A and B are shown apart, each in its own frame.
Chain A
Amino acid sequence: MLAEFGYGILLVSFIVTLYSGFAAVIGVRNKSASLVESARRAQLLTFPLISIAAGTLIYLLVNNHFEVSFVYEVTSRSMPTYLKVTAWWGGQAGSMVFWAWLLAVFTSAVTIRKWERDIEFLPWVIVVSSVTLAFFLGMVVVFENPFTRYWSMNGSVVTSMFAPSSAATVFTPQDGQGLNPLLRHPGMVIHPPMLYLGFVSFVIPYAFAMAALITGRNDDRWIRITRRWALWAWLFLSLGLVLGGRWAYDVLGWGGYWGWDPVEIAAFMPWLTGTAFLHSVMIQEKRGMLKQWNMILIILTYALVIFGTFLTRSGVLSSVHAFANSPIGPWFMTFVFLTLIASIALVIKRWPDLRGETEMKSLLSREALFLLNNLLFLGVLVICFWGVIYPLISELFTGQKVTVGPPYYERATGPLFAGLLFLMAVAPLSAWGHSTLQTLGRAIWKSAAIAVAATVAIFFTYTQNVYALIGFFLVALVLSATTHEILRGAMARQKAQSENFFIALGRLMGRNRRRYGGYIIHISMALMAIGILGIEIFQVQTQGQLSAGESLDIGGYRVEYREVAQWDNVPQEVNYTRAVVGVYRGDKYLGELYPRKDMYFSGQPMSIPGQYSTLRDDLYVLLVDWEPISSTSATFKIYVNPLVNWLWIGAVTFLLGLAFAAWPDRDPADEPVRRKVHAGNRQTSAAD
């Protein structure tokens, strides 16, 4: 009964969404305020509707309704309730409902708050959002229905939404398959929703961009309204990527955090265009340039968001993220293709109106360096995209499927990431409009001297590896130049306002939060780069079988095997095997580690490393095998991952910087719009 109810609600949501889109188009075309209002109400109705459908699904999940195939696939009786709730996004059908629900929430938030103020855009925002929402709901209603049930008929079991014949009866399995234990880690519980939050938030700036194109309003209004959406989208997407990496490091037991897996890249690509977008909108706001470019970036981001959702949810690419092949693939591709064509057609139509208000003159000006940053990000994007689709292309043209692995990505993106680090140090020091090598040199020479000194010190004490030295030099340059820039500003303010230095620093940063949040993010990127350089270039590993009391030496550590124990945890349906090893550095005893191998009764094993973690390096011990009876010997694989903690420190700093920049203060669009200094630009504050 509940299953039919949930499906019915989804169906109604689908129809309401379609109505909302059509009513908005016709209402705006015919200047019918009442029809537009009706569209808005229909849009607002999608949120409670999808919430009810989702609530029904959660109820079924929590109460072990295994006759529903989705419930059977992702939950089991032994799972705790909170995991049953989060199983909502543990499978394909549920996660599509989750996606749709988020979009309904966000669009409602937009239309409910500032309807009067943004009335010129909002009907079109509703149209764009409704098209997207209708697509997802359509997929759910037609192909990926989470409410499909099992029916037994003539001695066999079939899946169907409704009774396949009058003789069929609902079949309820005893217990579900349960969520893959690998996915029961807290990091994995919140990793997918974070990615989805990021994905879906980017739909809002895109919808406003399309609204701006359709209505012909070519100033930066849409950017100002959606600035915070874009920042939060970026925050969640970044958080999702970081959590995924941390999860891989803690649970997958291969000593790494990022494998250039196609599904990882699928989430990384919208991050790249989103990052470029966040930078280049500043140029439009400050200088009235790059309007066409910003449109292209947000369109690309949207297309990549849908493409990314599709990649993570289809079997086109071989990947560790094992999800089923499903009929939705071609539909996703068609949808991406059509929206891309429509958006590009709009941009072409408005192309002359989107010309920059001023021309870029100096190659070293701030705006030129921002453009360069954008090109580098797009370069990385093209490399990633090429790598992901290369198997398909090569098969099409040569008949043989050829793939490229992590070495391709590392090799090709490395120089571009180095270029980005360099720009991070230099660009904030260059002036708007015009800079020369001389002015830039004057601004950076002190920081450069510090970076050179640091690199020389690293050369003599740590490594002679050329790539590492280049990397460390760039990191040092970013850190010193950015810190210098922050301190310089604070000291200038201290002098001008005769304030205490720390008050001056606090006020300076507090009043230019986007700018200083950006600087914090730059610092965090440099910190993350330290961790990446460390693990990529200096990781060492060893492995071996040890009897009790024997030890292995690696990277200055000595790991001594003591014992292994094995026991069942019946409620959790898992068998633990836990080894005890002692860790020494030189003669100093550091403590015990407990690498574990968990064997779930379902047959799914899981390796939990024992980690001894310091700022200098991580000792990462995996229990590989053991003698079952005597437990006198066991086999270990041990990694030393130098500097990897800086990656996580950087990631936390990054999130803090981003939250600092994105935290709501006064509503940005209520601020008086900056008066433009360029002649002939009269589209300023009239409408605000």
Chain B
Amino acid sequence: MQRNKFLIGGALILAAVVYLIASSTSASAEYFMTVDELNQEGASAVNKSVRLSGAVIGDTIQYDSANLMLTFEVAHVPGDNNEIEAEGGLAAVLHAAVIDPSRSRIKVAYEGVMPDLLRNEAQAIMTGKLGDDGVFHAEELLLKCPTKYEEAVPDQVTSN
């Protein structure tokens, strides 16, 4: 009898936690996609919450500071870490993605302050939705500049 009421109490808490996890997961799930995958899905991906990763192409960055409208293009990079490693690390993959014109690309629009780390060959991790216009509307924009940590060999050396 004593035991039972504790077991019931514990079960209730467990159920509550499971419910919270399940409902919150489905309410805020974001699909992790690469540029290739998003382009392939096309119209069926419209309005789905997506987390997109790509290599920023420096030349395409446009910023309207009066209206805080930022647009740029990102090129496809593989989503899988092993694949990235196999191709020589993140910095190399980003570089290859940017200089290769045949890679699939997508245009990104973001309303807000231009982040400090946004520059050529940065990895952009964006959350948002693909619009009917084929532009990815990012609500959140995170940037990773791997060069700081990943450059195995100094710049000034490789050019020699």
Contacts and interface: CB of A to CB of B under 8 A. Distances in A.
A635 B27 contact: no
Contacts of A318: 53, 125, 142, 144
Contacts of B148: 177, 180, 322, 604
Given A322-B149, A386-B25, A543 B68 contact: yes
A379 B154 contact: no
A53 B101 CA distance: 48
B25 A174 contact: no
Nearest to B18: A382
Contacts of B127: 405
Contacts of A363: 5-6, 9
Contact of A174 (B13, B29, B146, B156): B156
Contacts of A607: 113, 116
Contact of B154 (A173, A411, A622): A173
Nearest to A317: B81
Nearest to A174: B156
Nearest to B49: A405
Contact of A408 (B25, B90, B153): B25
Interface stretch (A57-65, A113-121, A396-404): A396-404
Of the candidates B6, B25, B79, B156, the one having the most CB atoms from chain A within 10 angstroms of its own CB is B25
Q: Which of B28, B142, B143 counts the most A-chain CB atoms under 10 A from its CB? A: B28
B32 A391 contact: yes
A383 B157 CA distance: 47
A376 interface: yes
A619 to B, nearest CB: 16
A318 B81 CA distance: 10
B27 A407 contact: yes
A91 B149 contact: yes
Contacts of B125: 318
Interface in B35-94: 51, 53, 63, 65-68, 79, 81, 84-85, 89-90
Contacts of A189: none
Given A91-B149, A363-B5, A383-B21, A625 B32 contact: no
B140 A405 contact: yes
Nearest to B19: A412
Interface residues of B, number: 58
Contact of A624 (B13, B30, B113, B149): B113
Contact of B152 (A159, A405, A416): A159
Contacts of A545: 65-67
B131 interface: no
A158 B16 CA distance: 55
B82 to A, nearest CB: 9
Contact of A171 (B16, B114, B157): B157
A637 interface: yes
Contact of B21 (A376, A386, A400, A603): A386
A150 B146 contact: no
A245 interface: no
A404 B28 contact: yes
Given A159-B153, A375-B10, A416-B20, A624 B144 contact: no
A325 interface: yes
Contacts of B65: 545, 624-625, 635
B24 interface: yes
Of A177, A401, A415, A604, which is in contact with the most chain B CB atoms at under 10 Å from its CB? A401
A416 B29 CA distance: 20
B112 A72 contact: no
Nearest to B85: A325
B145 interface: yes
A315 interface: yes
A386 B131 CA distance: 30
A360 interface: yes
A67 to B, nearest CB: 10
Given A412-B20, A625-B65, A404 B25 contact: yes
A603 B151 CA distance: 16
Contacts of B146: 322, 324
B102 interface: no
A336 interface: no
A323 B125 CA distance: 15
27 contacts: A91-B149, A152-B157, A157-B154, A180-B148, A319-B144, A322-B146, A322-B148, A324-B89, A324-B90, A325-B89, A360-B6, A372-B13, A379-B13, A379-B16, A383-B17, A402-B30, A403-B30, A404-B29, A405-B127, A405-B140, A408-B27, A408-B29, A413-B20, A543-B112, A624-B113, A624-B114, A637-B113
Q: Which 9 A-B pairs have the closest CB atoms?
A: A401-B32, A625-B65, A605-B116, A412-B24, A408-B28, A407-B28, A545-B66, A379-B17, A411-B24
Given A404-B30, A405-B30, A635-B66, 14 more contacts: A157-B154, A318-B144, A320-B143, A322-B145, A324-B90, A372-B9, A403-B29, A403-B30, A404-B24, A405-B127, A408-B28, A416-B17, A543-B112, A625-B114
